[in-house]
Amino acid sequence: MPVKQLTVFLENQTGRLAEVAKILKDRNINLQGFSTTEARDYAILRLMVSDVESARKLLRESGFTTHQADVICVEIQDKPGELYGILDILAKEGINIDYIYVISGSRIILSVADISRTEEILIESNIKVCTSQTE
């Protein structure tokens, strides 16, 4: 089952990331994981939060451009080769990963074109697919 990710588009300026974190903190929304990608003038902030809908509403009200997307959350073991095993399975099945990042230490977020097929492959390979980012 896919989980919801919130993407925020930021001007690449001092304090903008802190502003997002403060908005979430002030409303007691837990920031469970994030990834940033930057270019010269802007940044893309991908967030896993405890309440996607509220976070999106608050950020939009504060003038941020946001997007919500479905992604896959996978639980991994903290041991050598674990990530390789997952990536190798998906590569052999022809699954391209658009991007990947770690949240909360033992879970990774995967963005892929065909979420259902990818989840089936992972489950058939005895890889735990989370039903929520907090699981």
Domain check: are 43 and 56 in the same one?
yes
Last residue of a domain, one of 69, 90, 115: 69
Which of 16, 37, 60, 23 shows the shortest CA–CA distance to 111? 37
Q: Tell me if 135 is assigned to some domain.
A: no
Domain check: are 54 and 88 in the same one?
no
Side by side, the strands of the sheet bearing 3-11 are: 31-38, 42-49, 3-11, 65-75, 107-112, 97-103
Locate tokens 């991007």: which residue? 99
What are the tens digits of pLDDT across the range 62-118?
Answer: 999 999 999 999 999 889 999 999 999 999 999 999 999 999 778 889 999 999 999
* Residue 23 structural domain: 3-69
Residue 117 sits at φ, ψ, to 5 deg, of: -65, -40
Domain check: are 85 and 38 in the same one?
no
Q: Tell me if 134 is assigned to some domain.
A: no
Q: Total structural domains in the chain?
A: 2
CATH (domain of 107): 3.30.70.260
What are the tens digits of pLDDT across the range 7-16?
Answer: 999 988 889 9
pTM of the predicted structure, to 2 decimals: 0.85
CA angle 53–71–68, rounded 5-degree value: 30
Domain check: are 100 and 111 in the same one?
yes
What are the tens digits of pLDDT across the range 33-47?
Answer: 999 987 888 899 999
Locate tokens 């309440």: which residue? 51
